[in-house]
């Protein structure tokens, strides 16, 4: 594993116990310049993870609690008239930062949710025809409670597709739960140290993009994606944007594990995290009691691993 990123991981583990695989996927998503959706019940550490991440990477961090009365202008900003100057000036919204935490994104209105579409895709804000670029790097971590919770607004597919991964932290194991009760986790957020600069992170992102991909692996990703579009167990498969996300995340996973070339296992390691929110189970799958994880695992087993040319 990349030593610098191992140091980052160790800092985050001070406040998020027993969730190594989640931390791995979060860090890989940052390397791939993607956005993260954390879907879980309240109180399992979603906000703590975001705060710890911003501290370890020296990023400007802002958090917004999404409620039904939050407006798009609260996020993006607005033009305000200055009577003394006789002109308008721009008041920036909360989105102008390196790491933006959209807490409980599914509790606000669809209009406000859609305000994030442009910034997540193009990393810029357009107000009254004027575009402003966001800081680099820029990431969105959105959290949401289960869709069945009262008062929630389901994210549309167009917005879900902007998130590289959807992750679930889940309950801690017994050892981790005991450490939390003993004050060895959530109470130590102030102990998390900055161990990586923004310039170092940007350099790592550049190196991630340079990870070598054998031609056969491009075909392998295409075969996997095509399988999601033709199986009877899915009524919606992976989009071209989703296949690009798979490639970028796989390259990030390779770099994260100290390699400058891609292997099939990198693709398999990230496939479910990248695709689970992009797939829609068919009636047949639901009737047979299958989960999205069951369907993905079955599909992965049906496509033979490619033979690398070099």
Per-residue pLDDT reduced to its tens digit, 105-154: 988 888 888 888 888 888 888 887 788 889 999 999 999 877 656 667 78
Domain boundary among 168, 194, 220: 194
- pLDDT of 18 reads 83
- pLDDT of 175 reads 81
Number of domains in the chain: 2
**How much is the mean pLDDT over the chain?**
89
- Does a structural domain hold residue 199? no
How does DSSP classify residue 263? -
- pLDDT of 149 reads 60
Q: What residues contact residue 155 under an 8 Å CB cut-off, 6+ apart?
A: 105, 106, 113, 144
**CA-CA-CA-CA torsion for 116, 107, 94, 133, nearest 10 degrees?**
0
Least confident of 85-94, 250-259, 300-309: 85-94
CA gap 237, 230 in Å, rounded: 8
- Cβ density class 75-111: b for 16+ within 10 Å, e for less: bbbeeeeeeeeeeeeeeebbbbbbbbbbbbbbbbbee
- pLDDT of 148 reads 58
Identify the domain containing residue 44 by its residue range.
3-194
Least confident of 7-16, 30-39, 46-55, 123-132: 123-132
- Does a structural domain hold residue 203? no
CA distances from 61 to 24, 99, 163, 211 (A): 20, 5, 19, 29
Query: Which of 292, 276, 54 shows the shortest CA–CA distance to 165?
Result: 276
Coil, helix or strand for 106?
A: helix
Query: Domain with 286 in it: what CATH number?
Result: 1.10.8.80
Where residue 134 falls (left for φ over 0; alpha for ψ -120 to 50; beta otherwise) is beta
- pLDDT of 181 reads 79
CA gap 239, 189 in Å, rounded: 38
Least confident of 47-61, 166-180, 219-233, 293-307: 166-180
Among residues of the chain, what percentage have pLDDT more than 90? 57
Quickly state the pLDDT bin for 189 (edges 50, 70, 90): confident
Residues 220 and 84 in one domain: no
CA distances from 293 to 61, 275, 289 (A): 33, 10, 11
Residues 231 and 121 in one domain: no
């Amino acid at each position: 594993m990349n030593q610098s990123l191992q140091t980052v991981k160790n800092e985050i583990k001070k406040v998020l116990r027993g969730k190594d695989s989640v931390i791995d996927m979060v860090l890989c998503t940052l390397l791939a310049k993607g956005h993260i959706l954390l879907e879980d019940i309240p109180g399992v550490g979603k906000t703590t993870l975001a705060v710890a991440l911003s501290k370890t990477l020296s990023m400007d961090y802002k958090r917004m609690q999404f409620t039904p009365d939050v407006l798009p202008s609260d996020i993006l900003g607005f033009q305000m008239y200055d009577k003394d100057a006789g002109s308008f000036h721009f008041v920036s919204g909360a989105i102008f930062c390196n790491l933006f935490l959209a807490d409980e994104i599914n509790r606000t209105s669809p209009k406000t949710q859609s305000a994030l579409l442009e910034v997540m895709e193009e990393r810029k804000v357009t107000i009254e025809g004027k575009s402003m670029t966001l800081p680099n790097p820029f990431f969105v971590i959105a959290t949401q409670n289960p869709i069945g919770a009262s008062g929630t607004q389901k994210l549309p597919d167009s917005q879900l597709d902007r998130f590289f991964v959807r992750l679930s932290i889940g309950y801690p194991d017994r050892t981790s739960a005991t450490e939390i009760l003993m004050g060895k986790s959530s109470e130590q957020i102030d102990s998390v140290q900055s161990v990586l600069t923004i310039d170092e992170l940007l350099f790592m992102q550049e190196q991630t993009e340079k990870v070598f991909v054998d031609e056969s692996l491009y075909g392998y990703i295409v075969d996997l994606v095509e399988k999601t579009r033709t199986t009877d167990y899915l009524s919606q498969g992976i989009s071209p944007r989703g296949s690009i996300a798979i490639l970028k995340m796989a390259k990030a996973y390779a770099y994260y594990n100290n390699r400058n070339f891609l292997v099939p296992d990198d693709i398999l390691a990230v496939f479910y995290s990248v695709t689970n929110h992009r797939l829609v189970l068919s009636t047949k799958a639901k009737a047979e009691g299958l989960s999205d994880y069951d369907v993905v695992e079955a599909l992965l087993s049906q496509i033979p691993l490619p033979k690398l040319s070099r």
